[in-house]
Structure 1
């Protein structure tokens, strides 16, 4: 059966939407850089106690910089047309044993199989955090 990119992307969007996944892509690196820089400066100025204070202040500042920058993961996935094939290849390795005709049937099959759902979610989480260098948050 031919693998349809749109079907698998719709499946990944459904899984991430059900888990209410959001990710901060653009500013998470900047927040980490600020946290590290402030800790470094604190260490230069105040020695070991300065590192502790600088790390705390830098961490809070970095967190503040990335707050509000979270977007839903399905939106992020659909904005990555050049990288969708890599995701599809990884997801295909997980769902290879399934037989489906369209995205609706594929989604129903996966949503009824908790183990497969967890594998796809882990693959998606790894992709977003490692490839996109994003921070993930789950809204409850």
Structure 2
């Protein structure tokens, strides 16, 4: 069905959103480099201003600030999927389509119902999605219960 390819991509994106939403999946793009930079910079300024005690205080404050900056960056995976550029959605579609190619569906609702009825298909799609997010987006996936 190459003629309605954009519709199929949209169907698959909706399916992946449904599955990841049901599992309450979130992902965090790691900003650890930025956190380390802040930690070092604040420790350095503390050392300049207050000598060795200032360095200790600066290191502690910088560490907290760095940790705070790298945490809380979690976004719901459905939001991440929908914000992907078309080329990335196409990549994700190709991987997901390989998993559901034997299914016949007319719209996202029917496709989602077929997949939700199969634990095996859900697991395959989730594994693919987690792998994609780790590899392509260099993000960490978390499940909120």
Partner Cα separation in structure 1 for residue 122 and residue 64 of structure 2 = 34
From 74, 78, 93, the equivalent of 2:78 is 74
Residues 36-115 of structure 1: pairs in structure 2 closer than 5 A:
63-82=67-86, 83-115=88-120
Point out 4+ residue stretches in structure 1 off by more than 6 angstroms.
Answer: 57-61
The aligned counterpart of 1:30 is: 32
Partner Cα separation in structure 2 for residue 105 and residue 59 of structure 1 = 49
Deviation at 1:105, TM superposition (A): 0.3
**Who wins on radius of gyration, i.e. which is larger?**
2
TM-score (norm 1): 0.74
Partner Cα separation in structure 1 for residue 100 and residue 65 of structure 2 = 41
Pair 1:59–1:19, CA change in 2 (3 A): farther
The aligned counterpart of 1:117 is: 122
Partner Cα separation in structure 2 for residue 129 and residue 34 of structure 1 = 21
Equivalent residues, number: 119
TM-score (norm 2): 0.72
**Structure with more helix by fraction:** 2
Contact 2:35 2:70 in 1 (8 A): no
Partner Cα separation in structure 1 for residue 127 and residue 63 of structure 2 = 27
Partner Cα separation in structure 1 for residue 94 and residue 63 of structure 2 = 36
